[in-house]
Chains A and B, each alone.
Chain A
Amino acid sequence: MRRLPKLARPMGLLFALLAVFAALLLSAPAGQAQTLAAPLSTSTPAPSPAESTGPPESFPNTINGVLRNAGQPVAGVTIRATGEGFSGEAVSSATGGWSIGVPVQGTYEVELDVSTLPEGVTLAEGAQNPRQVTFANTSNAGAIFPLGAGIVVQTQSFGELLVERILAGLSFGLLLALASVGLSLIFGTTGLTNFAHGEMVTLGAVLMFFFSGLGMPVWLAAVLAVVGGGLSGYLQDSGLWKPLRRRGTGIIPMMIVSIGLALAARYTIQLFFGGSTQQLPGARSPQIELGSVSISQNTLISLVISTVVVLMVAFLLLKTRIGKATRAVADNPALASASGIDVDGVIRIVWTVGGILAGLGGILWAYYRPGVTFNMGQQILLLIFAAVVLGGLGTVFGALVGSIIVGIFVEVSTIWLEADLKFVGALLIMIIVLLFRPQGILGRKERVG
């Protein structure tokens, strides 16, 4: 009983935190209509509450694409999708975009009705029509129909395919590293395996969507979203985790609290954001040709940004006072405290930095998938765990190495594996590594105990 008044304050803070996010997200639907209209060519319905109650066109999953001929959008072409006991069709809009809502994720046969193509426009030679489209655990799947007479669809050699997948995997691995370095720092300093880290990733992307929906330029929206991510880390620590540490709550109860937080946060986001997939501005980027290898512009930008940020974090950790203090706390909190380091202050900074990195990772993940959904963080949470375990729980550079391995593995495995199984390989690798080297690639043996 004596404890209750002491806890009333932190719990009050926690609910205030939830309320802040609720208020932020509440205003999100207002901005959605704008973003959709501007750079986007799909006709995905906006998830306003009234529409999501069940008219047939608001299926949770969509197959979509854009029809272009010599850079110009092609409108009025009929595209049909059949499969899984369902069939639907769509007509491409003035921007060339089309999207067909389907009830379940599965394999569909998508056919472009050649007779509805405008005069003088034909399918490119060698283009598949009809073609198979398979959902890969995301709620939207793309189908590309190359148009134009002069274009010949090339078949790639294995080497080019491999290089392409490795490049994409490197980009994916580095964005994964942003999230897993944060998770690893938090684990290292507090011992907590944070199951709510996926929601911090989602928050970054959702905030970016919200801010760009207000009409802000992309860079400003991204900066504000990343700041929001940092704020969420800061508030989480001050409102929830620090009071729990003060109480002497054990690691396992804290882990379960983080699961509760993850559930509450995920569905709070869905409550305001809706269940459908939204696109950030500039989600459809041109392909850049590097020799015979092509990579999308967004993937390349993401690769550069995350490399720079990861290097920055490494520099901070290795060269600055606060970085040294962080490593000291991770090594032995009691000893660090005895030598005059403000342990709680360091942990607060770690949570803030973790939030910032996760938020940035979320934005890049939204461009990589592409799309923003309420459960996008949950989808990569296990890959983040796999990366962290692979590299060694609690070691920051291990998390980096583990992430890159997981990222490349996931992308390269799609050459042989079905797209909807691509995450399975990474998770199996983690289990196998634990069997032979439980401390991970860079972990020290005594940590495993």
Chain B
Amino acid sequence: MDFLNILSGALGEVISPTTAAYALAALGLAVHFGYTGLLNFGQAGFMAMGAYGFAISILTFNAPFWAAVLVALACSVGFAFLLGIPTLRLRADYLSIVTIAAAEVVRYIVTTNKLTDVTGSAGGLNGFAGGFYALNPFPEGTYDLGFVSLSARDLWVRVAGWVLVAICCFLVWLLVRSPWGRVLKGIREDENAVRSLGKNVYSYKMQALIIGGLLGTLGGILFTLPRSSVQPANYGTELTFFLWTCLLLGGAATVLGPVLGAMLFWVVLSLTQGLLYGAISAGYITFISIPQAGQLRYIMVGIALMLLMIFRPQGMLGNKKELVFS
């Protein structure tokens, strides 16, 4: 077993674009759940809006990169209205059921064979990230970062991704410490009290849903860039639940928590996978096979989610006083 390889692979996950995409989407969930108390179980749907909005505008309508991003963001706002209008007046559990259902509806629609020309159905879409890589300012070559060495292309997608994460974190931080953010926290703690102060709770919730959704959509776009492909199977309910695990790991009502949570999530997954696969191929573990080891990771995530929620609901960075769930 090559421990050094496994370790550097796990460290590489810290800066991988997928981690950045998860961090962005989990940050969106932090706005939804951590600050506003909205139970959004459809973040995968917002990510799919990003991925498909972006890919379809480029492949079907030959849109330039920036226009495709704008179209994806517009789709996401539309999706947020669709979810929010029927449910934001209702109790939290209604929103959770409707969001998870809407995200699945999106997945069914992009998977259907009837729309193969546009969405590529089960096979997905690929080859649409050219516009993004054309913006690459780094000259060709190999860049050695100590634990990983990257091509110019890899470096560009990482730099762009993490700069985006940093900007979004900063914006969210500014937002939640503004008067607007204090209203959101008020809604989380006691909706009726905020309403009695004359605030339009419905409108604030809708704004939070849209902003968090936009972050999810940016995450969705970033998620597709490294491989330049979209697979509908990636946007199932599991994706949402992984994002929740990242969020709760780091701390729901924090700005840096989701980012830290996403990094930790991927490092732990990569480490355990590396160690398990290594142990299996070296013959130390004989009672499970490689695909079973892959399933073991999901089981681990599930148990981690339960334990987190039971023993440390505020996450690593959170303040227990701030997050008293109702």
Query: Which residue numbers of A lie inside 8 Å of B, CB to CB?
Result: 7, 11, 49-50, 52-53, 84-85, 104-107, 134-135, 137, 193, 244, 249-253, 255-257, 259-268, 270-271, 275, 378, 382, 385-386, 389, 393, 418, 420-421, 423-424, 427-428, 430-432, 434-435, 438, 448-449
Contact = CB atoms under 8 A, between A and B. Distances in A.
Nearest to A48: B289
B295 A267 contact: yes
Secondary structure at chain B's binding surface: helix, strand, loop or mixed? helix
Contacts of B241: 259, 263
B319 interface: no
B105 A420 contact: no
Given A84-B123, A106-B123, A385-B97, A423 B299 contact: no
B306 interface: yes
A263 B302 contact: yes
A265 B301 CA distance: 11
Interface string B64-106: 0000000000000000000001110111111011101110110
A337 B116 CA distance: 57
B52 interface: no
A266 B299 CA distance: 8
Contact of A49 (B94, B289, B305, B309): B289
Given A106-B122, A260-B302, A378-B237, A253 B112 contact: no
B244 A256 contact: yes
A377 to B, nearest CB: 12
B166 interface: no
Given A50-B289, A448-B91, A261 B101 contact: no
Nearest to B82: A431
A347 B302 CA distance: 25
Contacts of A431: 86, 98, 101-102
B145 interface: no
Interface string B299-326: 1011111111111010000000000011
A418 B298 CA distance: 32
Given A52-B291, A261-B302, A266-B298, A256 B248 contact: yes
Contacts of A428: 105
Interface residues of B, number: 56
A434 B108 CA distance: 21
A427 B106 CA distance: 11
Given A250-B326, A252-B325, A385-B101, A260 B305 contact: yes
A252 B121 contact: no
Nearest to A374: B295
A270 B102 CA distance: 26
A236 to B, nearest CB: 12
B123 A104 contact: yes
Contacts of B237: 378
3 closest pairs, A vs B, by CB? Answer: A264-B302, A263-B302, A260-B305
Contacts, number: 161
A193 B101 contact: no
14 contacts: A53-B291, A106-B116, A106-B122, A134-B113, A252-B39, A264-B306, A385-B101, A427-B104, A430-B97, A430-B98, A431-B86, A434-B94, A434-B98, A438-B86
A260 B309 contact: yes
Interface of B: 39, 85-87, 89-94, 96-98, 100-102, 104-105, 108-109, 111-114, 116, 121-123, 237-238, 241, 244, 248, 288-292, 295-296, 298-299, 301-311, 313, 325-326
Contact of A261 (B98, B114, B291, B306): B306
Contact of A7 (B121, B291, B310): B310
B101 A427 contact: yes
Contacts of B104: 382, 423, 427
B105 A427 contact: yes
B302 A435 contact: no
Contacts of A244: 310
B299 A264 contact: yes
A105 B122 contact: yes
A372 to B, nearest CB: 17
A264 B303 contact: yes
Contact of A256 (B121, B301, B309): B309
A104 B111 CA distance: 11
Given A267-B295, A431-B98, A259 B122 contact: no
Given A418-B112, A438-B89, A448-B91, 9 more contacts: A251-B325, A252-B326, A260-B307, A271-B295, A421-B114, A431-B86, A431-B101, A434-B86, A449-B91
Contact of A424 (B105, B244, B292, B301): B105
Contacts of B85: 435
A43 B39 CA distance: 45
Contacts of B290: 53
- From A7, A275, A434, name the one whose CB has the most chain B CB atoms within 10 angstroms: A434
B302 A389 contact: no
B109 A421 contact: yes
A264 B299 CA distance: 4
A420 B112 contact: yes
Given A106-B123, A427-B101, A260 B306 contact: yes
Contact of A263 (B87, B100, B113, B238): B238
A137 B108 contact: yes
Best-buried of A84, A244, A257, A428 by chain B (most CB within 10 Å)? A257
B101 A420 contact: no
Contacts of A449: 90-91
Contacts of B121: 106
Contacts of B298: 263-264, 266-267
